[in-house]
Amino acid sequence: MLDIKELRKDPTAFEAKIKTKSPEIDISPILTLDERIRALKTEAEELKSKRNQSSKEIGYRKQKGEDIASFMAEMGALADQIAVRDQESAKLEADIQQMLSVLPNLPMDDIPISPSPKDNVCIKMVGEKPEFSFPFKNHVELNEKLHLFDFPRAAKISGSGWPLYRGLGARLEWALLNYMLDTHRANGFAQIIPPLLVRPETMYGVGQLPKFETQLFKIKDEDYSLYLIPTSEASLNGLHMDEIIEEEHLPLMYTAYTPCFRREAGAAGAQERGLIRTHQFNKVELFCLTTPEDSSRIYDKMIASAEEVLQGLGLHYRSMLLTTGDMSFAAAKTIDIEVWLPGQNRYYEVSSISNCTDFQARRAQIRFRRKNEKAHFVHTLNGSGLATSRLMVALLENNQQPDGSILVPKILHKYLEEEIVAIQPR
């Protein structure tokens, strides 16, 4: 959530900046409401001061034995007027918090301004696209003989858009997850196994609610009101909700593997079949809390750890600095790491690493304290380290052989006995 005090300083510049992410936003209703709230509070304070003076006058006249009936009536009237203003300002403050809660985070100054992802800036390119001397296949076609996944049976169980890994496919997925977790632990990230279902307050704190309510899977009945996490960022942001962390304990760097759940599967069209876009996918998350001064250094560390995974797998990838219009709701800066998928003839994101500054911390009330200073909001940073579904596609399509088998990268051999994923019988 954004700080209303920052909005007050220079409303014109504030609105211009926020419109680079969401052009439809108009902050004038917030300013009008803010002015009314401040006027009500000023009136209430003046009335309370008057009441205090009347109270002193009553005490003085009591001591002298004088009649205080008129003063008592005035006190009652003042109390009623104060209550009316306090009640109205409380209601309006709830309204303004609701209005602030749907405003996105402000982009940093170095972010390219554009509404289109076509204007994202390539800041790094590693490796080269593979060249094939044979007609290559996409991962769905490869699976016809490898039998690593079973999409028809997954659909029978849960409907379209849900994955089912089987045999070597399940083991290869598990090898990838273990490799990624080992990499991040070696880089100083502490492993967490968080809940997959979280409270509405947790989703609000991370920035998923109220804006993205319709994109989430949820359980709501007489006993529970919980949401399935779209990413473990939601759970990890909730770890320190409503806490004050001593500065010497920062940075806190976490990694977590969880399944993730999103309603958006299939939204982008038939070309994104198979594992490209599903309702459920596996992801290893990176999440950090730190001071504003250390935020940039930690951001670079997270990017390096995510890239190390891809470099170990020998995959060609590029890093893209996202435009203002392509960034997520909570992000102030985002770099996407995209792998080349031959079967789709395009790059696909496998990691999106964002610095959210104090946006999530303000919503979740996560602060840190320096010695002899008041508490400040932490900066939160998150990123995929990585999402395995598209990573699996990249692994299969980039390492396919003429006979339809797959060469397994050496880095995975200690997690998987096979060096070649060969054609398997059903």
Can you list the pairs that 220-228 forms with residues at least 24 positions away whose Cβ atoms lie under 8 Å?
A: 224/197, 225/199, 225/200, 226/197, 226/198, 226/199, 227/197, 227/198, 227/199, 227/200, 227/202, 227/203, 228/196, 228/197, 228/261
Q: In terms of domains, do 306 and 415 share one? A: yes
Q: In terms of domains, do 199 and 314 share one? A: yes
Q: In terms of domains, do 410 and 356 share one? A: yes
Residue 265: the pLDDT is 54
Boundary of a domain, candidates 68, 101, 134: 101
Q: In terms of domains, do 135 and 91 share one? A: no
> Does 145 fall in a domain?
yes
- Find, among 261, 282, 277, 253, the residue nearest to 180 by Cα: 282
Q: In terms of domains, do 32 and 89 share one? A: yes
Query: How far apart, in whole angstroms, are the C-alpha atoms of residue 138 and residue 143?
Result: 9
pLDDT of 191 over the 80 cut: yes
Query: How far apart, in whole angstroms, are the C-alpha atoms of residue 251 and residue 294?
Result: 8
> Does 301 fall in a domain?
yes
Could you give the number of structural domains in the chain? 2
Which helix (H) or strand (E) is 100 found in, with range?
Answer: helix 69-101
Query: How far apart, in whole angstroms, are the C-alpha atoms of residue 188 and residue 288?
Result: 11
Q: In terms of domains, do 143 and 56 share one? A: no
- How confident is the model over 228-261, as pLDDT tens digits? 999 999 999 999 999 999 999 999 999 999 999 9
- How confident is the model over 99-123, as pLDDT tens digits? 999 999 999 999 999 999 999 999 9
Boundary of a domain, candidates 40, 72, 101: 101
Query: How far apart, in whole angstroms, are the C-alpha atoms of residue 183 and residue 313?
Result: 12
> Does 392 fall in a domain?
yes
Range of the domain at 39: 28-101
- How confident is the model over 329-384, as pLDDT tens digits? 999 999 999 999 999 999 999 999 999 999 999 999 999 999 889 999 999 999 99
Q: Between β-strands 243-246 and 366-369, what pairing exists: parallel, antiparallel or unpaired?
A: parallel
340-349 b/e (C-beta count within 10 Å ≥ 16 → b): bbbbbeebbb
Can you list the pairs that 244-249 forms with residues at least 24 positions away whose Cβ atoms lie under 8 Å?
A: 244/367, 244/368, 244/369, 244/375, 245/289, 245/366, 245/367, 245/368, 245/369, 245/378, 246/368, 246/369, 247/291, 247/368, 247/369, 247/370, 247/371
Q: In terms of domains, do 148 and 213 share one? A: yes
Write down the mean pLDDT value for the chain. Answer: 94
Q: In terms of domains, do 329 and 216 share one? A: yes
Q: In terms of domains, do 147 and 53 share one? A: no
- How confident is the model over 120-137, as pLDDT tens digits? 999 999 999 999 999 999
The percent of residues above 70 in pLDDT, for the chain, comes to 97
The percent of residues above 90 in pLDDT, for the chain, comes to 87
Any idea which residues carry the catalytic annotation? 262, 277, 349, 352, 390
161-187 average pLDDT score: 97
> Does 191 fall in a domain?
yes
Boundary of a domain, candidates 72, 101, 130: 101
Sorting pLDDT into bands at 50, 70 and 90, what band is 75? Answer: confident
Can you list the pairs that 6-11 forms with residues at least 24 positions away whose Cβ atoms lie under 8 Å?
A: 7/31, 7/34, 8/34
- Find, among 84, 99, 82, the residue nearest to 33 by Cα: 99
Q: In terms of domains, do 314 and 191 share one? A: yes
The answer to whether 206 touches 237, Cβ cutoff 8 Å, is: yes
Residue 270: the pLDDT is 47
> Does 388 fall in a domain?
yes
Peptide bond into 135 cis (omega under 30): no
Residue 423: the pLDDT is 60
Q: Which amino acid is at 80?
A: D
Residue 65: the pLDDT is 77
As given in the structure block, the two tokens for residue 271 are 């070309």
Give the contacts of 53 (CB within 8 A, at least 6 positions apart). Answer: none
Residue 426: the pLDDT is 39
Q: What is the DSSP letter of 400?
A: B
Which CATH number covers residue 38?
A: 1.10.287.40
> Does 12 fall in a domain?
no
Q: Between β-strands 218-220 and 190-192, what pairing exists: parallel, antiparallel or unpaired?
A: unpaired
SS3 category, 300: helix
> Does 14 fall in a domain?
no
pLDDT of 31 over the 90 cut: yes
Q: In terms of domains, do 155 and 60 share one? A: no
Residue 271: the pLDDT is 56
Cβ of 287: how many Cβ atoms within 10 Å? 27
Residue 171: the pLDDT is 95
Sorting pLDDT into bands at 50, 70 and 90, what band is 55? Answer: confident
Q: In terms of domains, do 263 and 157 share one? A: yes
Residue 62: the pLDDT is 76
> Does 19 fall in a domain?
no
As given in the structure block, the two tokens for residue 59 are 């005490």
45-66 average pLDDT score: 83
